[in-house]
Chain A
Amino acid sequence: MTENVYITASCTIADNVVVKNGKQIFEQKGTKVQDFLVAVYQYLAVNYPRFYKMDGLAKLGWMASEVLLEGSFDKTKYKPEDMGLLLCNKNSSLDTDIRYYDTVKTMASPALFVYTLPNIVMGEICIRHQFKGENDFFIFEAFNAAFIQQYVHHLFETGAMEACICGWVELLDNDYNATLYLTEKKENERSILFTEENIYHIYQTTHG
């Protein structure tokens, strides 16, 4: 029996614009991505100093999930082990790999080395929101709506998760895109069905 899964919130961060559920909430053209993300953090008056230590990819994914969940998610409805993540990108942690490798010339930086794995961004999100369920990171040539839809749907179907943050978090130098979906089995007044078209449509808005 295939139950329905819904997108109950979405967030995109691309081209220095932050959009939540289709509405723009912040923009700052002209700044480099890491400075832009700090500006978003300060604009939203988040109190999480650990943010400053994260690398670009983690800042991007963490910020997008922060915006995604704020006001849209009641985590008291779920057990920590039932909340999970499924993220993908193309360049893994290459941006930080390059920065870290530069430090090896003089003395390797532990703080940068820690981020030379793409799944650390999931670790940061889990630490922040206490998501203790399954989490996986896939590498693809390009955004793959079909995979995200099928696999996340499968995870719900098998009871592996009851709530899932899924999507695409990619960053290499100033080329970046975060497109995240909050998915649950319960509808709300603004939710839409978790279909390949709906997933792709939201991603497409970042290329408009």
Chain B
Amino acid sequence: MILIVVEHSNGKVSKSTYEMITAARESGREGPVTALVLGSSVASVASEIALVVDQVLVADKPELTQYDAELWSAAVAQIASEGEAHTVLIGGSRSGREFSPRVAVKLDAPLLEDVISLKDNSGVLIAERYTFLARVTEKVEAQGPVVVATIKPGIFTPAAPGTNAVEQFDADLDLPPRRLQVTGKTAEKTSRIALAEAEVVVAGGRGVGSAEGFTKLVEGLADEIGAAVAATRAIVDSGWRPYSEQVGQTGKTVQPKAYIAIGISGAVQHLSGMNKSKYIVAINKDADAPIFKIADYGIIGDVQQVVPAMIEELRKK
């Protein structure tokens, strides 16, 4: 069977899970697509996923309220062994990429990380993935009877739910103790559309000048067009913006229809988080900024002049 570890939040199945189901079905690997739901009070998640897979396993336990790499990897490896899964698919989220290596070691399996394609070739799994800060596409082959893969979000088309729900089974788990104690949490909050799901992203770099400049230019433009807001590492390190808005090697990876970069020079670490965007728009006063090399549209000019003029132009309609 193909085991999919369901990603969910606030009682709903995440888009990344539907993408994993497509990856599973299009891989050419045989056997039922089985969803594993881990969490507590996850009945709604289990019912939702039951409309789109062949089997559902649910571990609804208070110990699973809070994610933990050791608990999650133990649960997934146990279910994969007992169900004789030959393929284990995990989301390419921060947590998925953190616990999946432990699953691979437990199962003595190879790990395909953050894949953008997945195809069976006579029992061998072949995948493509981005490497070298997302500048190279590499093709790799995973050998062995069991393969673990994390699926890069935003690549596969989300699977459409059917109308018939499959039966749900309770998973009986033997969980290890929790060793990493979480003592506090800072949650991301935004009134705007989520960065990973936005069709248009407006991003700001040092060139916006100040936190106030970011609010006026980047948030101002984003609100005018209903876009999500993003920032560079430099801006986040300066404390102007929260980490949740950071795009790049150490932040989020996005691929919207349009990425509008305001006052961003285009360091390779930042580009690795957005260089797959359909259209890249750059506004920067420095004509030699690397961002212009990958821009579809752009203006070489003062962001303090150009962006307010754009906002005004948009309001005219």
Pair from one complex: no
Which B residues lie at the A interface, using CB under 8 A?
A: none
